[in-house]
Structure 1
């Protein structure tokens, strides 16, 4: 079973940060306090939508057909995700990730 990476604190719902990474090959451990990459701060549904967008070469028309939705519905979903990404970028104080 694949475990889903938790991104919010189960106690207070604050965004979690990465504090340790380890190499399974040589057991090297890197510790610190790092923000999650922006993509991982999105919901699983938003991540899946972006993956489908990429796999469909950016064709919202193709995605709408596959999803059984109208083009405007799919376009609105993309606009919502773009808005969320911009909010996260501004909240994190970063221009690029």
Structure 2
């Protein structure tokens, strides 16, 4: 039975290093210090979101449908993952009010979602 990969030490909470690989077929063991991708430190829920996002080819409306969540929720989850991957030092992009209004006019978001986006934009400013 395989367990999910641990990325943080349960004792001191520092990042763990993978030092051994094992083939269960031929029993080969390889020892060295191996690098993990940034994605290995993401939570299972975040990885699931990335799968859905890629499957939907980045179409947020499709992600909304697939996950049964609102546009602001999709946007929030995406921002959370971007920060978890270490890109949080970029300045937060401001929401273009005209874009929000055009999305509302096109029926891409509800009035409540538009209000939430505009409020988030004010809080980030």
TM-score range, shorter chain: 0.7 to 0.9
- Residue in 1 aligned with 2:36? 36
How many equivalent pairs are there? 88
Whether contact under 8 Å (2:52, 2:66) holds in the other structure is: no
Whether contact under 8 Å (1:53, 1:63) holds in the other structure is: yes
Structure 1 unmatched runs, 5+ = 89-97
Q: Which of 1 and 2 has greater Rg?
A: 2
Q: Which has the higher contact order (CA 8 A, sep 6+)?
A: 1
**What TM-score does the superposition give when structure 1 sets the normalisation length?**
0.75
Whether 1:16 and 2:16 are equivalent positions in the alignment is yes
- Residue in 1 aligned with 2:56? 56
For the residues of structure 2 that align with 1:2 and 1:35, how far apart are their CA atoms?
A: 20
What displacement does 1:87 show?
Answer: 4.4
| SS of residue in 2 equivalent to 1:4 | coil
For the residues of structure 1 that align with 2:59 and 2:22, how far apart are their CA atoms?
A: 38
Whether contact under 8 Å (1:16, 1:36) holds in the other structure is: no
**What TM-score does the superposition give when structure 2 sets the normalisation length?**
0.60
